[in-house]
Amino acid sequence: MRESQPSPNTPSPSASSSPSVRTRILRRPQRAAYDLASVAAIVDAGLLCTVAFQWEGSVHAIPTLHWREGDHLYLHAAKASRLGQALLAGEACVSIALADGLVLARSAMHHSLNYRSVVIYGRFEAVTEPEEKHRALRAFIEGLYPGRWEELRPMTAKEVNATAVLRLSLAEASAKVRQGGPKDDAEDLAWPAWAGVIPLQRRQGEPEMEADSPLAEAPPTRFGRPGQDGVGVVGVD
């Protein structure tokens, strides 16, 4: 969390909240945080979330992209889809997880993973006002590809209308973070096995241009300039 770039709409670090009955972390509570700033930093670092909901007698878990504005997580779907309908009909739980490093210990059990994760509970609401949807979808694109919105063929009213934009308050959320090396048992420290962390990173590969792309240079993304090693290396999922 500490290492992510503060984004313009990151809530102030003074924002804080207590856990609810269901967000209180029981396992390894020393890894917990409940303040909006901690939650928002992980939501921003993640590209994907999993949305869980109850529908027709079963629990479902569906992966989608998300973005954040202020104290809400946003996602988009087809207005006619099950996802677009089920999320308005009941409560949901959203999970975001980033794998930051493989933790290797001298014993099997003390192997672990460095991670950052968020779990959010609540009910999605639909953004229905066309200008508001337009603005939110623009923020989605601009958050991924800074400066790109103005270069695109303008979005039509029909496109906005076919799309459901849903948002979920971050009010009932928990963050959990593991960092650092293995925690081996004292009596195992001399056992001859390598101990440490192997960082896991995300990078952007060489852009694969369409044969008929009107421009030759791929635009920068939130992860940096594609194909430029180092710059494109980011520790997010």
Ligand X SMILES: Cc1cc2nc3c(=O)[nH]c(=O)nc-3n(C[C@H](O)[C@H](O)[C@H](O)COP(=O)(O)OP(=O)(O)OC[C@H]3O[C@@H](n4cnc5c(N)ncnc54)[C@H](O)[C@@H]3O)c2cc1C
CA distances from 216 to 21, 125, 151, 153, 212 (A): 53, 40, 14, 17, 10
Would you say the C-alpha torsion 88, 92, 96, 102 has a positive or negative sign? negative
Residue 116 amino acid letter: R
What lies within 8 Å, CB to CB, of 30 at 6+ separation is none
CA–CA distance, 89 with 70 (Å, rounded to integer): 24
Under rule CB under 6 A, residue 197 binds ligand HEM: no
Under rule CB under 6 A, residue 211 binds ligand HEM: no
Task: Find which of ligand HEM, its own copies, ligand X, none residue 23 binds, CB within 5 to 8 Å per kind.
Answer: ligand X
Residue 182 amino acid letter: P
Under rule CB under 6 A, residue 57 binds ligand X: no
Nearer CB in complex with ligand X: 38/106 = 38
Instruction: List binders of ligand HEM among 115-144 (CB under 6 A).
Output: 137, 140-141, 144
Under rule CB under 6 A, residue 78 binds ligand HEM: yes
Instruction: List binders of ligand X among 10-49 (CB under 6 A).
Output: 22-23, 25-27, 48
Here the tokens at position 109 are 């059990």
Instruction: List binders of its own copies among 33-72 (CB under 8 A).
Output: 47-48, 50-54, 56, 58-63, 65
Under rule CB under 6 A, residue 117 binds ligand X: yes
Under rule CB under 6 A, residue 65 binds ligand X: yes
